With several copies, the nearest count.
Chain A
Amino acid sequence: GGAGFGMVELCIVTEEMGRALLCAPYFSTTVLAASAILNAGTEAQKSRLLPGLASGARLATLAVTELDGNWDPRGIELVATPVAEGYLLDGAKSYVVDGHVADLLVVAARMAGTAGHQGLALFTLGADSAGVERRLLESMDPTRKLARIDFHGAHANLLGNQDDGAQPLIRTLDQAAIALANEMVGGAQAMLDSAVDYAKLRVQFGRTIGSFQAIKHKCADMLLDVELAKSAAYYAAQAAAIDDPQWPAMANLAKAAASETYLRTAAECIQIHGGIGFTWDNDTHLWFKRAKSSEVFLGQPNYHRELLMQRWGVCVGEFE
């Protein structure tokens, strides 16, 4: 068991999807929702909910962030009120990946009157439940669809038991950060390959541009950048898989490393392509936009760097 059952396999898949820029709802259903259910759910809930997701029969997603786009669970304001059976959810979530198409919603909420990590829990409900209002957002990255979801007294079930508090959610977000880091290094590798291929093809001043030191050295730096980020992403996946106590910190490290690398590599890939790389018909911009969106999705690099420092005890962490 442990945090990372199947983490390495999961990350091999996300890396490939990042490389090929596949738009399947894998991240929302498997990386986010299924992990949340695995981390928080009772055995009964797991066996009721997971098969449908695994078979692809149902799509699911996890709703954490709210309108302020804050990824720190302590910022969650959506309220769950206990009723006869289950809970009523009131509030708004945003930046919910595939939230407009998901059949099942896993929602992070807090008990009325609680604050910080106290009183946080995960809930599940059908996306078509009464009191659920979904709106597709216009996202820069056409390959990662986002939705805003408003809850007006929508009826939901508690996932697992309430005294687990924030831990299952935090663990899910850390796992997702590792999976995303691996997706990003896949994309970064694709940008490096594309840049190098073009540099070998494109001729200016009677030479392939790849024979100019300016381009050669740029590509060498991209290679180093990508190799380093890959090492971080792979290491974090391994650490989670073996439940190394360091693994949550490694999630922050990998996410920060991969974010910077992916964006730099995508930008350099456009630069090496020159004007053509800035055109719509050249696909490079799709990876660039994915890199941009991945940079802030699940938290910006500086957020993860600060978390890393706190988890390493460099400063007194208010985080955990």
Chain B
Amino acid sequence: MMSKISETEVRAEVRAWLAANWDPELSLAAWRNKLADSGWGMPQWPEAWYGRGLPMSLVRVVDEEFAAVGAVSAAKSGVRHLAAATLLEHGSDLQKKKFLRRILTGEDSWCQLFSEPGSGSDLAGATTRADLNGDNWIVNGQKVWTTSAHHADHGLLLARTDWDAPKHEGLSYFVIDIKQPGVDVQPLKQMNGHASFNQVFFTDALVPAENLVGGVGDGWKVAMTTLAHERRGADGLSSPPRRGSRTGRIHAEERAELETANQPYTWYPQRAGRVDLVIERAKETGANKDPVVRQEIAKLMIMAKSAEWTARRARAAQQQGRPQGPEGSLGKLAASNVARAAARVHTLITGTEAMLTGSASPRDGIIAEILVSVPAISIAGGTDEIQRNILAERVLGLPKEPRSDTGPFRNVRKN
């Protein structure tokens, strides 16, 4: 009953506020500052911090009302929302004050500085070091696989502050200013020609002591929060479709923002194998007349559909309250199998033309991009081997392997 009432109240309140304030001719920043001040941009956030402390069930109502008038939302894309979630949970008031507003106005963009050349699967093996010197931490080392670092303002940095503690206990978590001389951002080109990631080199880069998130040595715990939100984000909770016209200054600015945000991800659908194209392609090439090809298409579609329905079952279980757990690895592993199978079937269908690439090749090069992008899916975001370990240990309860990385990190074998 209670929530029923407040739902009506909330709907009335937000509707009134939008009627009074929404204006497509405002600048993106101006509008989002209104959102920050009113708390309607992130209604689930605490009232103290640009929110209204609403339960998620009511956030949906606010989203619906925003959608109804086509109002632009607070900035949510990319690492930004991971930064916000992490700071809300572990950040100091000073840090929240410094960063949260410009996160949700979208004026600042953020990147994640966890992976290193020497620690990919083994994230906690980071060797980028931070040493306290007076009021500053001095950072030296290298990070990699950083999305959009080249136009980020701040980075979420995992660095080692104690070499005598065990691996997971010697790490600390910082917010680092990317736009400083000690930080050098280089693009990293992939085998499919895209450069969606960066390498980031630190040479005596500075982090003010006040930018330490959580305590010294709490880095791994804080990073887990970031990663948990990243996983949840991967589930892709989509907002309701927006009604209303898309004209007006603010929409133009938002489109530009989204374009920049999505630029690194244009090849991701190809990485997943573009199962959606398989049957069309079979028909347009005439490969559908070959019973051998049909068998392979069927095997692929059976796997892909089953994976889709497995994800659906997992979500249903979550909605019945079960936390999104290691089952996530099921979807990740299934996605790898599906993508590899899809690449095989696309080759089978495309035949000799699969030797070509670029705009003159099938589907303006999309097919070729599938073939050279699929190898990434079983690596990025945790290799298939890591996913199998997670499933075996956390879902099936099989014992861990004997560890070789215990004791002081200083003495642990490294690259």
Contacts and interface: CB of A to CB of B under 8 A. Distances in A.
Would A and B touch once assembled, by the CB under 8 A criterion? yes
Contacts of A282: 191
B306 A257 contact: yes
A279 interface: yes
Contact of B121 (A204, A288, A292): A204
Interface stretch (B14-22, B56-64, B234-242, B344-352): B344-352
B172 to A, nearest CB: 21
Interface stretch (A1-9, A46-54, A156-164, A227-235): A227-235
Nearest to A282: B191
B28 interface: no
Interface string A280-309: 111011001100110111001010011011
Given A140-B372, A205-B404, A219 B309 contact: no
Chain B contact residues, majority secondary structure: helix
Nearest to B390: A220
Contacts of B224: none
A296 B300 CA distance: 20
Contact of A213 (B115, B309, B351, B389): B389
B120 A315 contact: no
A207 interface: yes
Given A219-B398, A223-B391, A275-B380, A232 B306 contact: yes
B307 interface: yes
B310 A231 contact: yes
Given A223-B391, A292-B354, A203 B294 contact: no
B303 interface: yes
B347 to A, nearest CB: 7
A140 B125 contact: no
A305 B355 contact: no
B356 interface: yes
A308 to B, nearest CB: 5
Interface string A96-131: 000000000000000000000000000000000000
A256 B294 CA distance: 14
A63 interface: no
B226 interface: no
A195 B291 CA distance: 36
A211 interface: yes
Interface stretch (B94-102, B104-112, B245-253, B281-289): B281-289
Interface in A38-84: 65, 69-71
A206 B412 contact: yes
A306 B296 CA distance: 10
Contact of B279 (A141, A196, A227, A312): A312
Contact of A216 (B120, B361, B388): B388
Interface string B385-415: 1011101110111111111111000001111
Contacts of B231: none
Contacts of B388: 213-214, 216-217, 220-221
B189 A300 contact: no
A200 B400 CA distance: 11
A203 B117 CA distance: 11
B352 A279 contact: no
A270 B118 CA distance: 16
Given A274-B379, A280-B189, 10 more contacts: A138-B356, A139-B357, A207-B405, A211-B400, A212-B401, A220-B391, A228-B306, A281-B189, A305-B294, A308-B301
Complex A-B, nearest 8 residue pairs according to Cβ-Cβ distance, in ascending order: A69-B352, A206-B405, A285-B191, A305-B298, A216-B392, A231-B309, A138-B358, A206-B404
9 contacts: A69-B353, A206-B413, A228-B310, A231-B313, A232-B302, A257-B306, A274-B121, A296-B354, A297-B355
